[in-house]
Structure formats: structure tokens, C-alpha cells
Structure 1
Amino acid sequence: MGRLPAKPSLDQLRKRAKDLARAEAVKLSEAQFRIARDHGFPSWPKLQAYVRRVTEHGETLQHPYHQDVHYYAERALGLLASAEDETPGAREPFERRGQPLTRDGARAVVAREHGFGSWKALREHVESLVDSGEPFARAYRAIEARDPGTLETLLTEFPGLVTARGTNGNDLLGMATATCDERLSRLLLDHGADPSRGNVHGWTPLHQAAYKNLPLLLDQLLDAGAPVDVPARGDGGTPLVVTLFWGHREAADKLATHSRAPRNLRVAAGLGDAGLLDELLDPGGTLAPAAGRHRGFYRPHSGFPAWQPSDDPAEVKNEALAWAARNNRVEALKTLVARGADLDADVYRGTALAWAAATGRVAAIRTLLDLGADVNRVGTFGGPNHGEGVTALHLAAQSGHLDAVRVLLENGADLDARDEIFHSTPERWAEVCGQPAARDLLRATR
């Protein structure tokens, strides 16, 4: 195939077609068709449309790559949610495109960011994307198929792919990181991909590796110069914080050797850093000013509901308790409770016990219960359309953490507790979520 420059020129392609037509004594339409096919496009109009979009929008263009129209509708809703809760930078595309903060406004923004004048035009393009020949979509399919051979061929034919962006500003390196395939990310880095580049939310490949708990990919990206202190989805949302949010201890411990930023109380609690805990929260329960700073990050994606952290000292301590629990930091739990943290506080989508149960942290569960946590405390967890009125037993059952289920049952967890949305018991949660061992354990306990 021919090599299409990063900044293709329609005039040059037209000239090539005329030259080919004369040299081969064929019709111009035949020459145009050959050139289009040479670049992987099914027709000259498809190649023309692609080049026009790239030429008009340049590096700001977001290339469609997913074949499901619903995917773009979800991205529009996510962008709107981020703008409404004032995530840094999320309002800028609405202002730049002159669109209101509404669903239709968000869809118009998404369409125009992809180089289309309307949502309808974007939808029609996406519906025929698989046959469009567009290189970014083909590269995405190669990544999804974990096919480094095809990806390398495309990177050679279309050198601009390494810097191109897709929906939400995601680039191919970020997508490759999400697949957990080190061969793909290594290939992109070798072709010049920038490991420090974030998407529209500031989310870098290092954030993605942290989110997925991939220590080997973290090493690869760190060796390539990926920055460790860049925030995403809010102030303080470093890759380390992303790992601690999910309780990914292995990745967190690796990142902490490079940086512990931001050095606030929830980071100290999540790492079990006794020295930093003492620095930020004295034995009398008084917080240092830095303890509650840089907590603008509170969710990794818009599937969690909007929330605004406050400077309330009780909230700062109680949130830190939940971060210690999900990371199984037993001594930090004891320190925080001794210095005023509320065992049953549900600061943001989950009590400390709920998080310990959801992540299967048995030592943390035992510690919290020994300290006096209510085993049947009802609270929230995760997305607003899922975790309302749930108990720790619901969450342990949902995730199939059998040891956590056993400890909770030993301490009086209610088998018949029902959540507020589905009105289902922990046993039913285990069944619906594909955890037959947990279901059978709960059933046998009756």
C-alpha cells in the first residue's frame, strides 16, 4: 500500500490520479479508484471525505473508531456530566462550539469534534465505519484483536496515526494500554507515541495502566518517561490516586516509589504510610492543612455520580478510612479510628466496611468489625443505578469474595437484607453477577 502523509493533501492526491491516468492510459475514475484502494479505502469519495476532515480540523480532529452509535451517545452524556460537575476543561468544548449544556448540545459537540456538522452525519458515518477504510478505525480494530503485525503495517503506511486522537481525545497508546498487551504499547512507543499525552479528561496511558492494575505496563511507561504527577478527572487525580481508589496495592506500591503526590490524608491512608499519617493527623485528631487538599478527583469515570469534596475535617478523616479499608491497611484503620474517624460514615459511595467487602480485604473487614463497625450498615456503592441501600454482604457476594462472605456471616451479616433498587438479597446478587460459589455458600448457610 502507499504511504499517506500525516497531513495529506487532496490536491496532491488529485495530481497523482491525473498522472496515473496518463501514465497507464486509463480513465481518471479508474486511477482515482486505484489510489483509494492503495491507501486502504474502498472508493475515491471515501478517501476524499477522510482527507477533507483531516485537512479542515488538523490535530484537533477526533477520529471515530467504535462501530456502535450508542458508544458516542454515552460519551456525550459523560462529557455533559463532567461539564455539569465542573470537571476541569470539560466545559471548554461546549463554549468553543457554542453549545448549551444539554443532551443535544453534548451530541452536537461530539459530532463536531469528530468533524461532522450534525449528530445525524456522525451516526451515518459510524454505521458504515467498518467499510470506510479509515486508518484510525482499522488501527483500533488491530489493537482490539491484539494484532501487532497489522498495527505495525498501519503505523508505517499512516505515520500520522501515532499522534492522531479518537473519541474523547483518546490516542492509540491509551487504547493499547487498556488491552493489557505490552507488545502493542511497546510498538507504539517505538513509533514515537507520547506517554505523557492525556485525553480530554487528562487521562494518560499511566492512568490507564494504574486503573487496570498492570505493574509491568507501568514499568514500561515509566521507563519511557511517563509523568507520575499529572492529574486527571480533577485536582489530585494522579495515577497513584487512581490505583488507591480501586485498592490496587501492587500498582500503588510501585508508583509510590516514584511519587506520593498528592500528599494528603487519603493517600497516606491508602498507602498505610504511618509517617505521613502522623504528619497530617495528630493523635488528638487535628488535621494539618494539607490533609484535605487536592481531593478534586473522586471518580474514575462518569458511571459514578457527581459529588463535590468539602473541607469538613470529619469528611476528610472518614474518606481516608474508606481508602485505608479498600487497600487493606490495618494499622492505618486503627490510627484513623483512634483519631476520630467514623466507622460507619458513607462519605462517597461506600462505607469503609463496604469497600473492604467489595475488594475482598479480609484483614480490613475483621479489623473494622473488631473496632465496632455495623456489619449490616446500609449504604451506597458504585453507580447510582446500582448501589443504593446495599450492605457489605451484598458487595462481597457480588464480587465472589468467599472469605469475605464467611467473615461477614460469622459476624452476623443478614442473609435476607434487600437493596433499595432491585430489592434483592446477597444470594440473588451473587447469582445475577455470575458468582455461583458465593451463591451456594450463602444458600448453604440458611
Structure 2
Amino acid sequence: MTSPAELAFDKAHELIDARDLAGLARLIGDLPTLVHAHGKNGNDLLGMAAATRDERLCRLLLDHGADPASANVHGWTALHQAGYLGLPLLVTMLLDAGAPVDVSARGDGGTPLVAALFWGHREAAELLAAQSVSPGNLRVAAGLGRADLLDSLVAPDGTLTPAAGAHREFYRPHSGFPEWRPSDDPAEILDEALAWAARNDRSAAVRTLVARGAGVDSDVYRGTALTWAAAQGKASVIGTLAELGAAVNHRGTFGGLSHGKGVTALHLAVQGGHVAVVRALLEVGADPSVEDGLYSSSAIGWAEHFEQREILAVLRGA
């Protein structure tokens, strides 16, 4: 039988999903301990509110005593969620409330900063990095575009320091991505860092890493540097990667197994609705007729499926 406390928690969850600020305020006023309760997988109301992208709900919960350090069974905190979603206002709110920045989730090194950099959320990442560049490995340095850190971690001849590949147990933010085990292979560490530089639109870091041995078309984990840049809408780095020899029509992996087989950068730019990236890819020779390996559909077919009318016009014009 469901207990009264569980029923109240479920009700609070419903109010959060409905973005019902007034209703949530009344419920917490009647049951103040709800802000400290945990539901499935150890998730609390603050973490659930962060997932809705609604800073008002988070502010309400913090004002009623919610713990910004509270984590679920994966170690994931509200600050991880704010970084993961790229919400700079929420990042600032949680930092001001005392949320910890050096805690790991989903593996050693999975800090809120890494959650932000994984998806190329530069503004949120820079706010977090101002508090702590943790962990200070090569992929973090690359994602932040920190030339000083890159120079301290990888020599001009490509030799890595031990810190370059440390704390890389985190590799996916959720189970939608397939399992993988990062290794200590120096080439893998360099190539992974290149993808993190590209998804965060760090052209200078991309040039540095390629000059020091990173493979421009390497696919360390679910995507090359070019496909990650395209998927995250980073148009300016596209030309840099093409200039460095990236295969513009490479068909590779991306994201989950159900949609990431034989995709090109152009497919992913179309799916994301990134018009500027589509134009940039076409300028460097992307072929809109190349078919993916799962649906046997071209970028034009993807544009039709996702109803990207502006992109469809651009592709047909090309």
C-alpha cells in the first residue's frame, strides 16, 4: 500500500511536471519535509524541478530548505542537471545556494562541468569552470578552449601527462547511450579531446590537438569531431575541421544505437534544425544525397521527416 508520504511526494512531482508553482508552494507549506524526500532512484524534488528547466520551481524549493548538494543514486545533483541542460541562470542560482562543483556522477570525473561540456553548453560550462576546473584532464581543457591547460597536458610532439587521461570514467550522461569503457590509450585520449573541443566550438583547441596527433576523423565514442559539432549547432568550427582534412561525408555513429548508424554530419545538423551548420557543411562539400545506414534516407529525407522547411529549401537549392 502506498503511504501518505509517498502519495504527497507523487503529488509534488505532478505539480512540478505541471509547472504549478502556486500548488507546489501550498503543498510544501503544509508538508515542509517534502523538500528532503526522495523518490525513485533517489531523485528529490529539486532535481526534478531542475529537469523541467523552470528556475521558479527551483527557487521555491531552495527557499523552503531543499539541499543543493542532494544527489540521486547515480550521484547526479541539480547542478549536474543544470549543466546538462545548459541553464546558466539555474547554474548561478545553485552555485549561490552552495551546490558542490567537484562531485562526480555516473563515473569518476562526471562533474557538473563535464555534464555541460558533454553537450557543448559553453555559457554554463564557463560559469562552472570559474568555480573549479574539475577534473582538469585533456577533454575538459579542450572543451573550455584553455590553451594554457592544453600546453600543460599535451606536448607539441603529442606526449601526454598522466593528468591528461585521468578521471575519464564518465562517458555518458544517461543509459540512452551504449556502454563503453574508456582506456588509457594516448591516441584515444587525444581523439576524445578533439571531439570535446569541436562540440564546444573551440577552433583554436581543434587546431592544437590535430597538430599534436589527434585524428581528425576519429570516432572515440559515438561521433567524430565533425558530427558532434554539427549535432550541437557549432557552425564556426565546421570550416576549421574541413580545412584540417575532416571527411565531410563520413558515415559514422552518433548517440544511441536506435538512431546513430551510418549518419553524416549533415544528417545531424538537419535533425537539430541548425540552418547555419547546414550551410557551412554544404560550403565545404557535404552531399545531401548520402543515405544513413539505419533508415536509408538522405539529409533531404531527414529534413522532410523532421519538417525542417527552411533547411529543406536550402538542401534542394544545393
User: If the length of structure 1 is used for normalisation, what is the TM-score?
Assistant: 0.70
**Aligned AA (2:198):** A
AA aligned to 1:148 is L
Matched, 1:315 2:188: yes
1:429 has 2:302 as partner: yes
TM-score, normalisation: structure 2: 0.97
Select which of 126, 129, 132 maps to 1:253.
Answer: 126
Q: Which residue of the partner structure matches residue 50 of structure 1?
A: 3
- In 1, distance between residues paired with 2:56 and 2:273? 31
**Could you tell me which amino acid in structure 1 is paired with residue 29 of structure 2?**
T
Contact 2:41–2:73 (CA under 8 A) maintained in structure 1: yes
Q: Distance in 2 between matches of 1:341 and 1:441?
A: 33
How much has 1:187 moved relative to structure 2? Answer: 1.2
Structural mapping, 1:257-268, within 5 Å: 257-268=130-141
The 2-side partners of 1:332 and 1:400 are apart by: 26
Q: Which runs of structure 2 are paired with 1:22-41 in the superposition (5 Å)?
A: none
Residue aligning to 2:103: 230
Q: 2:234 aligns with which of 361, 365, 374?
A: 361
CA offset at residue 367 of structure 1? Answer: 0.2
Measure the CA separation in 2 of the matches of 1:170 and 1:138.
14
Give how far 1:359 is off: 1.3
Partners in 2 of 1:189 and 1:300 — Cα distance? 25
The counterpart of 1:390, out of the listed 237, 244, 263, is: 263
Identity score, percent = 63
C-alpha separation in 1, matches of 2:158 and 2:104: 29
Matched, 1:149 2:22: yes
Residue number in structure 1 paired with 2:282:
409
CA distance in 2, matches of 1:316, 1:338: 15
* Cα displacement (A) at 1:416: 1.4
* Alignment map for 1:3-22 (pairs within 5 Å): none
Contact 2:190 2:213 in 1 (8 A): yes
Select the structure that is richer in helix. Answer: 1
Does 2:222 align with 1:349? yes
Kept in 2: contact 1:399–1:435 (CA 8 A): no
Cα distance in 2 for residues equivalent to 1:188 and 1:302: 28
In structure 2, C-alpha distance between the alignment counterparts of 1:428 and 1:199, rounded to whole Å: 40
Highest CA radius of gyration, 1 or 2? 1
Measure, in 1, the Cα distance between the counterparts of 2:158 and 2:33. Answer: 55
Residues 416, 425 of structure 1: 8 Å contact kept = yes
Deviation at 1:160, TM superposition (A): 2.5
Give the distance between the partners of 2:202 and 2:223, measured in 1 at CA.
Answer: 17
Per-residue deviation at 1:401?
A: 1.1
CA RMSD of aligned residues (A): 1.2
Distance 1:431 1:249 in 2: 30
Instruction: Give yes or no for contact 1:235–1:297 (8 Å, CA) kept in 2.
Output: yes
Q: Are residues 1:373 and 2:259 paired? A: no
Query: Following TM superposition, by how much is the alpha carbon of 1:402 offset from its aligned partner in structure 2, in angstroms?
Result: 1.2
The Cα offsets for residues 389-410 of structure 1, whole Å up to 9 and x where unpaired, read as 1111111111111121112112
CA–CA separation in structure 2 for the residues paired with 1:248 and 1:193: 26
Contact 2:83 2:112 in 1 (8 A): yes
Structure 2 gaps, min length 5: none
Matches within 5 A, 1:111-150: 134-150=7-23
Runs of 4+ in 1 over 3 A off after TM superposition: none
Contact kept, 8 Å, 2:239 with 2:284, in 1: the verdict is: no
The equivalent residue for 2:163 is 290
Number of matched pairs? 318
CA displacement at 1:414 relative to structure 2? 1.6
Instruction: Look up the SS of the partner of 1:356 in the other structure.
Output: helix
**CA offsets 1:29-58 (integer angstroms, 9 cap, x no match):** xxxxxxxxxxxxxxxxx7xx515xx6xxxx
Residues of 2 paired with 1:319 and 1:166: CA distance?
35
**Further displaced range: 180-189 or 294-303:** 180-189
1:433 Cα deviation after fit = 2.3
> 1:371 Cα deviation (Å)?
0.8
Corresponding residue for residue 31 of structure 1: none
Taking the aligned partners of 1:303 and 1:282, their CA distance within structure 2 comes to: 35
Give the CA deviation at 1:383: 0.5
Counterpart contact for 1:399–1:430, Cα < 8 Å: no
Instruction: Please tell me whether the aligned partners of residues 240 and 256 of structure 1 are also in contact (alpha carbons under 8 angstroms).
Output: yes
Alignment partners' CA distance in 2, 1:233 and 1:371:
34
The SS at the match of 1:389 is: coil
Deviation at residue 315 of structure 1 after TM alignment = 0.3
CA distance in 2, matches of 1:158, 1:50: 14
8 Å CA contact retained: 1:165, 1:171 = yes
